[in-house]
Amino acid sequence: MTTISLALDTPELAQAYEHGSDRQFNHGKLLIEALGVRRGQRVLDVGAGTGRLAAHVAEIVGPEGSVIAIDPLPLRVDIARKKARENLAVAVGHAEDLSAFTARSFDVVYLNSVLHWLDHRQKRRALGEAARVLKPGGKLGFSTGSRERPHQLEPIQRKVLAELGKEAPGDAPYDHKVTVDEARRLLERAGFIVDTLEIRTFVDHAADVDEILRQTRSGSFGNHLSHLSPEEQRAVRDRLAQELEAWRTPQGIRLERNLIFAIAHTAGN
Ligand SMILES: C[S@@+](CC[C@H](N)C(=O)[O-])C[C@H]1O[C@@H](n2cnc3c(N)ncnc32)[C@H](O)[C@@H]1O
Protein backbone atom coordinates (compact mmCIF):
# COMPACT_ATOMS: atom_id res chain seq x y z
CA MET A 1 0.00 0.00 0.00
CA THR A 2 1.33 3.41 -0.95
CA THR A 3 2.27 5.82 1.77
CA ILE A 4 0.87 9.30 1.40
CA SER A 5 3.66 11.86 1.57
CA LEU A 6 3.40 15.09 3.52
CA ALA A 7 6.61 16.33 1.86
CA LEU A 8 5.23 17.13 -1.62
CA ASP A 9 3.30 20.30 -0.82
CA THR A 10 4.49 23.58 -2.39
CA PRO A 11 3.48 27.23 -1.89
CA GLU A 12 1.72 27.09 -5.30
CA LEU A 13 -0.30 23.98 -4.36
CA ALA A 14 -1.24 25.48 -0.98
CA GLN A 15 -2.42 28.72 -2.67
CA ALA A 16 -4.28 26.73 -5.32
CA TYR A 17 -6.08 24.88 -2.52
CA GLU A 18 -6.99 28.10 -0.76
CA HIS A 19 -8.56 29.50 -3.95
CA GLY A 20 -9.84 26.28 -5.56
CA SER A 21 -11.35 24.22 -2.74
CA ASP A 22 -15.00 25.28 -2.95
CA ARG A 23 -16.04 21.61 -3.19
CA GLN A 24 -14.47 20.74 0.16
CA PHE A 25 -15.69 24.00 1.69
CA ASN A 26 -19.27 23.42 0.53
CA HIS A 27 -19.57 19.81 1.71
CA GLY A 28 -17.74 20.87 4.89
CA LYS A 29 -20.51 23.40 5.61
CA LEU A 30 -23.03 20.58 5.25
CA LEU A 31 -21.01 18.51 7.73
CA ILE A 32 -21.04 21.40 10.22
CA GLU A 33 -24.79 21.74 9.73
CA ALA A 34 -25.27 17.99 10.36
CA LEU A 35 -23.17 18.30 13.53
CA GLY A 36 -25.48 21.07 14.75
CA VAL A 37 -22.51 23.28 15.74
CA ARG A 38 -23.82 26.22 17.74
CA ARG A 39 -22.83 29.37 19.59
CA GLY A 40 -20.50 28.99 22.54
CA GLN A 41 -19.09 25.57 21.59
CA ARG A 42 -15.43 24.59 21.71
CA VAL A 43 -14.51 22.94 18.40
CA LEU A 44 -11.42 21.15 17.01
CA ASP A 45 -10.90 21.07 13.21
CA VAL A 46 -8.47 18.24 12.45
CA GLY A 47 -6.71 18.47 9.07
CA ALA A 48 -8.00 22.00 8.56
CA GLY A 49 -5.94 22.73 5.43
CA THR A 50 -5.88 26.47 4.76
CA GLY A 51 -8.57 27.08 7.40
CA ARG A 52 -11.54 28.15 5.26
CA LEU A 53 -14.03 25.90 7.06
CA ALA A 54 -12.53 26.64 10.49
CA ALA A 55 -13.07 30.38 9.86
CA HIS A 56 -16.71 29.65 8.96
CA VAL A 57 -17.15 27.63 12.16
CA ALA A 58 -15.55 30.44 14.21
CA GLU A 59 -18.37 32.69 12.96
CA ILE A 60 -20.96 30.15 14.12
CA VAL A 61 -19.55 29.57 17.63
CA GLY A 62 -19.09 33.33 18.11
CA PRO A 63 -17.00 35.06 20.76
CA GLU A 64 -18.28 32.79 23.56
CA GLY A 65 -16.96 29.74 21.69
CA SER A 66 -13.64 28.82 20.14
CA VAL A 67 -12.15 26.85 17.26
CA ILE A 68 -8.71 25.28 17.10
CA ALA A 69 -7.56 24.29 13.60
CA ILE A 70 -4.63 21.90 13.12
CA ASP A 71 -2.95 20.54 10.00
CA PRO A 72 0.41 18.82 9.40
CA LEU A 73 1.32 20.92 6.34
CA PRO A 74 3.21 24.06 7.42
CA LEU A 75 2.53 25.90 4.14
CA ARG A 76 -1.25 25.44 4.58
CA VAL A 77 -1.05 26.33 8.27
CA ASP A 78 0.70 29.59 7.27
CA ILE A 79 -2.30 30.51 5.11
CA ALA A 80 -4.76 29.43 7.82
CA ARG A 81 -2.88 31.55 10.41
CA LYS A 82 -3.85 34.66 8.46
CA LYS A 83 -7.45 33.87 9.42
CA ALA A 84 -6.65 33.50 13.14
CA ARG A 85 -8.61 35.74 15.49
CA GLU A 86 -9.63 35.79 19.12
CA ASN A 87 -11.79 32.67 18.85
CA LEU A 88 -9.77 30.88 16.13
CA ALA A 89 -6.32 29.43 16.85
CA VAL A 90 -4.23 27.62 14.23
CA ALA A 91 -1.33 25.21 14.74
CA VAL A 92 0.66 22.45 13.04
CA GLY A 93 -0.60 19.08 14.23
CA HIS A 94 -1.48 15.52 13.24
CA ALA A 95 -4.77 13.69 13.67
CA GLU A 96 -3.03 10.70 15.27
CA ASP A 97 -1.48 12.77 18.05
CA LEU A 98 -3.74 15.19 19.88
CA SER A 99 -1.54 15.15 22.99
CA ALA A 100 -1.45 18.97 22.88
CA PHE A 101 -5.09 18.87 24.02
CA THR A 102 -6.48 17.76 27.33
CA ALA A 103 -9.01 14.96 27.66
CA ARG A 104 -12.72 15.86 27.61
CA SER A 105 -12.11 19.42 26.44
CA PHE A 106 -14.08 19.80 23.14
CA ASP A 107 -17.79 19.80 22.31
CA VAL A 108 -17.15 18.93 18.67
CA VAL A 109 -14.26 17.42 16.69
CA TYR A 110 -14.46 17.13 12.89
CA LEU A 111 -12.31 15.92 9.98
CA ASN A 112 -13.49 17.21 6.61
CA SER A 113 -12.00 15.25 3.68
CA VAL A 114 -9.09 14.08 5.80
CA LEU A 115 -9.56 10.43 6.84
CA HIS A 116 -8.89 9.01 3.35
CA TRP A 117 -5.35 10.38 3.59
CA LEU A 118 -4.65 8.25 6.67
CA ASP A 119 -3.77 4.56 6.61
CA HIS A 120 -5.72 2.12 8.76
CA ARG A 121 -3.50 2.49 11.81
CA GLN A 122 -3.53 6.28 11.62
CA LYS A 123 -7.34 6.24 11.28
CA ARG A 124 -7.68 4.13 14.42
CA ARG A 125 -5.37 6.43 16.33
CA ALA A 126 -7.09 9.55 15.00
CA LEU A 127 -10.54 8.37 16.08
CA GLY A 128 -9.18 7.17 19.44
CA GLU A 129 -7.65 10.59 20.02
CA ALA A 130 -10.87 12.34 18.97
CA ALA A 131 -12.81 10.23 21.49
CA ARG A 132 -10.29 11.15 24.20
CA VAL A 133 -10.45 14.91 23.70
CA LEU A 134 -14.25 15.07 23.37
CA LYS A 135 -16.38 15.86 26.40
CA PRO A 136 -18.86 13.16 27.45
CA GLY A 137 -21.69 13.37 24.91
CA GLY A 138 -19.42 15.38 22.56
CA LYS A 139 -19.82 15.00 18.82
CA LEU A 140 -17.50 13.74 16.09
CA GLY A 141 -18.16 14.37 12.40
CA PHE A 142 -16.27 13.40 9.30
CA SER A 143 -16.66 13.36 5.54
CA THR A 144 -14.43 10.97 3.64
CA GLY A 145 -14.16 9.23 0.28
CA SER A 146 -16.31 6.13 -0.17
CA ARG A 147 -14.57 2.94 -1.29
CA GLU A 148 -17.82 1.27 -2.35
CA ARG A 149 -18.81 4.21 -4.57
CA PRO A 150 -15.62 5.87 -5.81
CA HIS A 151 -15.35 9.23 -7.52
CA GLN A 152 -16.26 8.83 -11.22
CA LEU A 153 -12.77 10.00 -12.20
CA GLU A 154 -11.17 6.96 -10.55
CA PRO A 155 -12.10 4.17 -13.01
CA ILE A 156 -11.33 6.48 -15.96
CA GLN A 157 -7.92 7.30 -14.52
CA ARG A 158 -7.29 3.65 -13.67
CA LYS A 159 -8.02 2.67 -17.27
CA VAL A 160 -5.70 5.37 -18.64
CA LEU A 161 -2.89 4.40 -16.27
CA ALA A 162 -3.32 0.71 -17.13
CA GLU A 163 -3.15 1.50 -20.87
CA LEU A 164 0.11 3.35 -20.30
CA GLY A 165 1.41 0.55 -18.04
CA LYS A 166 1.64 3.04 -15.16
CA GLU A 167 -0.77 1.83 -12.51
CA ALA A 168 -0.06 3.57 -9.24
CA PRO A 169 1.49 1.26 -6.66
CA GLY A 170 -1.60 0.55 -4.56
CA ASP A 171 -3.57 3.15 -6.55
CA ALA A 172 -2.83 5.94 -4.07
CA PRO A 173 -4.67 7.83 -2.74
CA TYR A 174 -7.71 5.68 -3.29
CA ASP A 175 -6.55 2.70 -1.27
CA HIS A 176 -7.09 4.54 2.03
CA LYS A 177 -10.81 5.01 1.46
CA VAL A 178 -13.23 3.02 3.58
CA THR A 179 -16.68 1.54 3.12
CA VAL A 180 -19.62 2.49 5.33
CA ASP A 181 -19.20 -0.82 7.22
CA GLU A 182 -15.51 -0.16 7.81
CA ALA A 183 -16.28 3.37 8.98
CA ARG A 184 -18.84 1.99 11.44
CA ARG A 185 -16.34 -0.54 12.80
CA LEU A 186 -13.66 2.15 13.21
CA LEU A 187 -16.09 4.42 15.05
CA GLU A 188 -17.42 1.71 17.36
CA ARG A 189 -13.94 0.44 18.10
CA ALA A 190 -12.97 3.96 19.23
CA GLY A 191 -15.99 3.92 21.58
CA PHE A 192 -18.33 6.15 19.56
CA ILE A 193 -22.08 5.77 19.32
CA VAL A 194 -23.02 6.23 15.66
CA ASP A 195 -25.82 8.67 14.89
CA THR A 196 -25.57 8.98 11.09
CA LEU A 197 -23.53 7.08 8.57
CA GLU A 198 -24.47 7.62 4.94
CA ILE A 199 -23.12 8.19 1.47
CA ARG A 200 -23.88 11.56 -0.07
CA THR A 201 -23.41 12.23 -3.78
CA PHE A 202 -22.12 15.55 -5.12
CA VAL A 203 -21.97 16.60 -8.76
CA ASP A 204 -19.05 18.70 -10.03
CA HIS A 205 -18.61 20.44 -13.37
CA ALA A 206 -15.17 21.36 -14.66
CA ALA A 207 -14.22 23.39 -17.72
CA ASP A 208 -11.47 20.98 -18.76
CA VAL A 209 -9.04 18.27 -17.69
CA ASP A 210 -6.52 20.84 -16.45
CA GLU A 211 -9.00 22.26 -13.96
CA ILE A 212 -9.68 18.74 -12.68
CA LEU A 213 -5.97 17.95 -12.38
CA ARG A 214 -5.22 21.28 -10.66
CA GLN A 215 -7.88 20.58 -8.05
CA THR A 216 -6.80 16.98 -7.60
CA ARG A 217 -3.15 17.89 -7.20
CA SER A 218 -3.74 20.71 -4.71
CA GLY A 219 -6.32 18.64 -2.79
CA SER A 220 -3.82 15.76 -2.55
CA PHE A 221 -0.98 18.14 -1.54
CA GLY A 222 1.09 16.92 -4.48
CA ASN A 223 0.45 13.18 -4.15
CA HIS A 224 -1.76 12.73 -7.20
CA LEU A 225 0.27 10.99 -9.97
CA SER A 226 3.46 11.79 -8.06
CA HIS A 227 4.83 8.33 -8.97
CA LEU A 228 5.07 9.47 -12.61
CA SER A 229 7.75 11.50 -14.42
CA PRO A 230 6.69 14.87 -15.90
CA GLU A 231 6.51 13.26 -19.39
CA GLU A 232 4.35 10.42 -18.08
CA GLN A 233 2.10 12.93 -16.30
CA ARG A 234 1.65 14.79 -19.59
CA ALA A 235 0.74 11.53 -21.35
CA VAL A 236 -1.86 10.76 -18.66
CA ARG A 237 -3.23 14.29 -18.93
CA ASP A 238 -3.63 14.00 -22.72
CA ARG A 239 -5.36 10.61 -22.53
CA LEU A 240 -7.61 11.78 -19.70
CA ALA A 241 -8.56 14.85 -21.75
CA GLN A 242 -9.74 12.53 -24.56
CA GLU A 243 -11.63 10.17 -22.23
CA LEU A 244 -13.31 13.01 -20.33
CA GLU A 245 -14.88 14.46 -23.49
CA ALA A 246 -17.42 11.63 -23.19
CA TRP A 247 -18.51 13.19 -19.87
CA ARG A 248 -18.96 16.71 -21.23
CA THR A 249 -22.33 18.45 -20.79
CA PRO A 250 -23.33 22.05 -21.62
CA GLN A 251 -22.24 22.95 -18.05
CA GLY A 252 -18.80 21.33 -18.43
CA ILE A 253 -17.29 17.92 -17.68
CA ARG A 254 -19.76 16.37 -15.22
CA LEU A 255 -18.40 13.96 -12.61
CA GLU A 256 -20.02 12.55 -9.49
CA ARG A 257 -18.21 12.30 -6.20
CA ASN A 258 -19.48 10.21 -3.29
CA LEU A 259 -18.60 10.89 0.30
CA ILE A 260 -19.30 9.03 3.51
CA PHE A 261 -20.78 11.42 6.05
CA ALA A 262 -20.52 10.27 9.65
CA ILE A 263 -21.87 11.82 12.82
CA ALA A 264 -21.23 10.07 16.14
CA HIS A 265 -21.02 10.92 19.83
CA THR A 266 -19.22 9.80 22.94
CA ALA A 267 -21.17 8.29 25.83
CA GLY A 268 -22.62 10.84 28.26
CA ASN A 269 -21.70 11.25 31.93
C1 LIG B 1 -8.42 17.71 1.07
S2 LIG B 1 -7.59 18.52 2.37
C3 LIG B 1 -8.95 19.01 3.43
C4 LIG B 1 -8.64 20.28 4.17
C5 LIG B 1 -9.78 20.87 4.97
N6 LIG B 1 -10.26 19.96 5.98
C7 LIG B 1 -10.93 21.33 4.08
O8 LIG B 1 -12.07 20.93 4.35
O9 LIG B 1 -10.68 22.08 3.12
C10 LIG B 1 -6.87 17.20 3.29
C11 LIG B 1 -6.06 17.68 4.48
O12 LIG B 1 -5.72 16.53 5.28
C13 LIG B 1 -4.53 16.86 5.91
N14 LIG B 1 -3.87 15.66 6.48
C15 LIG B 1 -3.14 14.73 5.83
N16 LIG B 1 -2.63 13.86 6.73
C17 LIG B 1 -3.05 14.25 7.95
C18 LIG B 1 -2.84 13.80 9.28
N19 LIG B 1 -2.08 12.73 9.51
N20 LIG B 1 -3.42 14.46 10.29
C21 LIG B 1 -4.20 15.55 10.05
N22 LIG B 1 -4.42 16.04 8.82
C23 LIG B 1 -3.86 15.41 7.79
C24 LIG B 1 -3.72 17.50 4.80
O25 LIG B 1 -2.63 18.23 5.33
C26 LIG B 1 -4.77 18.35 4.11
O27 LIG B 1 -4.75 19.68 4.56
SS (H, E, C) 95-162: CCECCCCCCCCEEEEEEECCHHHCCHHHHHHHHHHHHHHEEEEEEEEEEEEECCCCCCHHHHHHHHHH
Among 117, 121, 202, 216, the mutation site with the greatest number of ligand 1 atoms within 8 A of its Cβ is: 117
Q: Is the CB of 31 under 6 A from ligand 1?
A: no
Given a cut of 60, is residue 109 above it in pLDDT? yes
User: What are 168-195's pLDDT values in tens digits?
Assistant: 655 554 568 999 999 999 999 999 999 9
Amino acid 1: pLDDT: 44
Distance 47 CA to ligand 1 centre (A): 4
Q: Is the CB of 95 under 6 A from ligand 1?
A: yes
56, 108, 120, 192, 208 from 59: Cα distances, Å: 5, 15, 33, 27, 35
User: What are 73-100's pLDDT values in tens digits?
Assistant: 999 999 999 999 999 999 999 999 999 9
The three-state secondary structure class of 261 is: strand
What mean pLDDT is predicted for residues 119-136?
97
Domains in the chain: boundaries: 11-150+176-203+258-265
Pick the CATH number of 11-150+176-203+258-265 from 3.40.50.720, 3.40.50.2300, 3.30.70.141, 3.40.50.150: 3.40.50.150
Among 71, 73, 112, 124, the mutation site with the greatest number of ligand 1 atoms within 8 A of its Cβ is: 71
Side chain identity at residue 264, one-letter code: A
The three-state secondary structure class of 258 is: strand
What mean pLDDT is predicted for residues 204-210?
97
Please state the φ and ψ torsions of residue 112, each to the nearest 5 degrees.
-100, 110
